[in-house]
C-alpha cells in the first residue's frame, strides 16, 4: 500500500534548525532522509539530514527523546548501516519519522527540549563524511524509459529501434554491486576491448566514449522468499526509499560486447550513488499516475497491473545533470546543466519493476537495489546520457569555456540533482550525486 499524506508532510511545519526553513534547502523538515555519517574520529552513526545539519538518531535516543516503537527503531541506529533499522519494518520506519518530525519542529514541547540539546544532537554536514548507508547485496539495472530505449535503438539499429518485447516486459540486467561507490568518489577511466565498424580487429585500451546515465535507485526494505512472488498490490510495501544513481558507461566497450548477453564490463567499473536515502513515505505527496500508454500500445499483463498502480504508481520526481570541466572549475565557471527529466516519463512503475523481478521466484533481500535505467524524457533537453545528447558524438556540445564535448574527458565532474515539488507541499530534494573522471 502507498503511504498516506500525514502531519509530517504539512507544508506549514517549520524547524528550529533554521537552515531547514530555507526554501532552497533539499532537506526541510518534510523530507527527513536517512544516511550514515563518519566523524573525523572515524566513528559512524545513523543520521537524518535537516537543512545543513545532521541529526544523530543515537544521540536523540540517549537523550530520551523517543518513545514506543520509535525508541525501538532508534536502538537499531547505533551501527554503521541502516540495515538493522530497515529490518524492523514499515511500522517502525513511520513511527520514527513522525517522532523525528515532532522533535525538529519549532512549535512542540519535545522540539523545545531538543533545541536546548542542539549541540549534542546535531553535526554540521561540512564536518563529516557521508558514508555508504546500506550495503547493497544485489543490484539490478532496468531500461525503463521508452524514450531512452528508442534513442539508443535508433543509433544501434536504425531499422529496428524498439525491440518487440519492450512494451510487454520490463527489460533489465544484473549489475555489479562491488563497484557501487558513494558520491564524491573519483571514477577511473576504464580500459576495455573495442572495435570500430571498419577496424579489422579489436584493440585493448582506455575507453574513448565514457558516459554517464541519469537514474534513480530503489532500496529493498522487506525481503521475499525464494520461490515466492511479490504481487503488484504488495510491491510498495517492499520499498524503503530511493537515491540518485549514476550508471557510468563505456559506450565503445558496450557496443562491442553487448550482444548477445547484454552489458558487462561497459558498466561494472563504477556506479555512483547519492548518500541520502529519501523514504517512500516522504514521497507520498508526489505520487502520480503510471505512464499514459498511447493508443495502440499493449496494456500490461494482469500480474503487472492494478488500479492503484495505474492511479498512483508513478513518482513526479525531477532529475537534473550538470557538467563542470577542470577548466570550468579553474575559471570559477558554474556547472552547466545538460538536461532535466522526470521519473514520470518512465514506461514502467517501481511496483511493476519489483513485481516483474520476483515473478520467476527470485528472492529479494534487504538492501538489494534496483535502478530505473536512464531517465530520458520525450524532448531533446530531457536526455539522460551524453550518448543521446550528442547523438553518438555527431552533435558535440560546447561548454562555456569553448571546450567541446562528445563524451567525458579526464577532469570532468558530473553532478546530478533530484527533487520533488507540487503546489501545496514543501519541495524536497535528494541531495546530489557527484563524480570526477580520473585517468588510470
Ligand atoms: Mn543504466
**CA pair distance 289, 163, nearest whole angstrom:** 25
The pTM score is 0.98
Rounded to the nearest angstrom, the distance between the alpha carbon of 43 and the centre of ligand 1 is 33
Torsion of CA 286, 287, 290, 294, to 10 degrees: -30
Rounded to the nearest angstrom, the distance between the alpha carbon of 80 and the centre of ligand 1 is 28
Domains of the chain (ranges, CATH numbers): 7-131 (2.30.30.230), 139-315+340-384 (3.90.850.10)
Average pLDDT of span 125-132: 96
* Region of residue 98 (phi > 0: left; psi between -120 and 50: alpha; otherwise: beta): alpha
pLDDT range class, residue 157, cuts 50, 70, 90: confident
Residue 156, pLDDT score = 82
Q: What is the SS3 assignment for 125?
A: helix
Rounded to the nearest angstrom, the distance between the alpha carbon of 383 and the centre of ligand 1 is 13
With vertex at residue 207, the alpha carbon angle to CA 204 and CA 209, rounded to the nearest 5 degrees, is 135
Torsion of CA 103, 105, 106, 107, to 10 degrees: -90
Q: What is the SS3 assignment for 362?
A: coil
**CA pair distance 56, 284, nearest whole angstrom:** 24
* Catalytic pick among 9, 61, 92, 148: 148
Of 132, 137, 143, residue with least CA distance to 165: 143
- Please indicate whether residue 148 is annotated as part of the active site: yes
pLDDT range class, residue 160, cuts 50, 70, 90: confident
Q: Is 371 within 8 Å of 216 (Cβ atoms)?
A: yes
Q: Which residues are CB-neighbours of 292 under 8 A, at least 6 positions away? A: none
Q: Please report which helix (H) or strand (E) contains residue 342, including its range.
A: strand 336-342
Average pLDDT of span 181-195: 98
Q: Please report which helix (H) or strand (E) contains residue 277, including its range.
A: none
**CA pair distance 13, 102, nearest whole angstrom:** 10
Q: Which residues are CB-neighbours of 262 under 8 A, at least 6 positions away? A: 173
Rounded to the nearest angstrom, the distance between the alpha carbon of 385 and the centre of ligand 1 is 9
* pLDDT reading at 219 higher than 90: yes
Instruction: Give 385-402 pLDDT, tens digit per residue.
Output: 999 999 999 999 999 999
Rounded to the nearest angstrom, the distance between the alpha carbon of 204 and the centre of ligand 1 is 23
Rounded to the nearest angstrom, the distance between the alpha carbon of 371 and the centre of ligand 1 is 8
Average pLDDT of span 7-34: 98
Q: Which residue has the cell 519542529?
A: 105
Rounded to the nearest angstrom, the distance between the alpha carbon of 374 and the centre of ligand 1 is 5
Q: Please report which helix (H) or strand (E) contains residue 354, including its range.
A: helix 350-357
On average, the pLDDT of the chain sits at 97
Q: What is the SS3 assignment for 404?
A: strand
Q: Is 13 within 8 Å of 104 (Cβ atoms)?
A: no
Q: Residue 72, CB half-sphere, CA atoms under 13 Å: how many? A: 12
Amino acid at each position: 500500500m502507498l503511504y498516506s499524506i500525514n502531519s509530517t508532510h504539512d507544508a506549514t511545519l517549520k524547524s528550529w534548525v533554521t537552515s531547514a526553513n530555507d526554501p532552497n534547502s533539499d532537506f526541510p523538515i518534510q523530507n527527513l532522509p536517512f544516511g550514515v555519517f563518519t566523524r573525523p574520529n572515524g566513528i559512524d552513526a545513523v543520521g537524518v539530514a535537516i537543512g545543513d545539519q545532521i541529526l544523530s538518531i543515537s544521540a536523540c535516543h540517549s537523550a530520551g527523546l523517543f518513545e514506543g516503537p520509535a525508541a525501538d527503531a532508534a536502538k537499531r541506529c547505533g551501527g554503521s548501516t541502516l540495515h538493522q533499522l530497515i529490518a524492523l519494518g514499515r511500522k517502525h520506519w513511520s513511527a520514527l519519522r513522525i517522532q523525528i518530525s515532532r522533535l525538529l519542529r519549532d512549535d512542540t514541547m519535545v522540539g523545545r527540549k531538543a533545541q536546548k540539546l542542539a549541540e549534542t544532537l546535531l553535526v554540521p554536514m561540512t564536518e563529516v563524511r557521508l558514508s555508504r548507508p546500506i550495503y547493497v547485496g544485489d543490484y539490478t539495472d532496468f531500461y525503463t524509459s521508452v524514450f531512452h530505449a528508442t534513442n539508443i535503438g535508433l543509433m544501434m539499429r536504425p531499422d529496428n529501434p524498439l525491440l518487440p518485447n519492450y512494451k510487454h516486459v520490463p527489460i533489465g540486467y544484473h549489475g555489479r554491486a562491488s563497484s557501487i561507490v558513494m558520491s564524491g568518489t573519483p571514477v577511473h577511466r576504464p580500459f576495455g576491448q573495442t572495435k570500430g565498424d571498419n577496424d579489422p580487429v579489436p584493440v585493448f585500451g582506455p575507453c574513448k566514449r565514457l558516459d554517464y546515465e541519469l537514474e534513480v535507485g530503489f532500496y529493498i526494505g522487506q525481503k521475499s522468499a525464494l520461490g515466492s512472488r511479490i504481487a503488484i498490490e504488495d510491491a510498495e510495501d517492499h520499498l524503503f526509499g530511493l537515491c540518485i544513481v549514476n550508471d557510468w558507461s563505456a559506450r565503445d566497450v558496450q557496443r562491442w560486447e553487448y550482444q548477445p548477453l547484454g552489458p558487462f564490463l561497459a558498466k561494472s567499473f563504477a556506479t555512483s550513488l547519492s548518500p541520502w536515502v529519501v523514504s517512500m513515505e516522504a514521497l507520498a505527496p508526489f505520487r502520480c499516475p503510471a505512464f499514459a500508454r498511447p493508443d495502440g500500445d499493449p496494456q500490461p499483463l494482469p500480474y503487472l497491473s492494478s488500479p492503484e498502480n495505474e492511479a498512483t504508481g508513478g513518482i513526479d520526481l525531477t532529475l537534473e545533470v550538470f557538467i563542470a570541466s577542470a577548466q570550468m572549475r579553474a575559471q570559477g565557471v558554474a556547472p552547466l546543466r545538460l538536461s532535466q527529466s522526470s521519473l514520470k516519463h518512465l514506461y514502467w512503475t517501481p511496483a511493476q519493476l519489483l513485481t516483474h523481478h520476483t515473478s520467476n521466484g527470485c528472492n529479494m533481500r534487504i538492501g538489494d537495489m534496483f535502478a530505473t535505467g536512464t531517465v530520458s524524457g520525450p524532448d531533446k533537453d530531457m536526455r539522460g546520457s551524453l550518448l543521446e545528447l550528442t547523438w553518438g558524438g555527431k552533435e558535440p556540445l560546447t561548454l562555456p569555456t569553448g571546450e567541446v564535448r562528445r563524451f567525458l574527458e579526464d577532469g570532468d565532474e558530473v553532478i546530478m540533482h533530484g527533487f520533488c515539488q507540487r503546489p501545496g507541499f514543501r519541495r524536497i530534494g535528494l541531495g546530489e550525486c557527484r563524480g570526477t573522471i580520473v585517468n588510470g
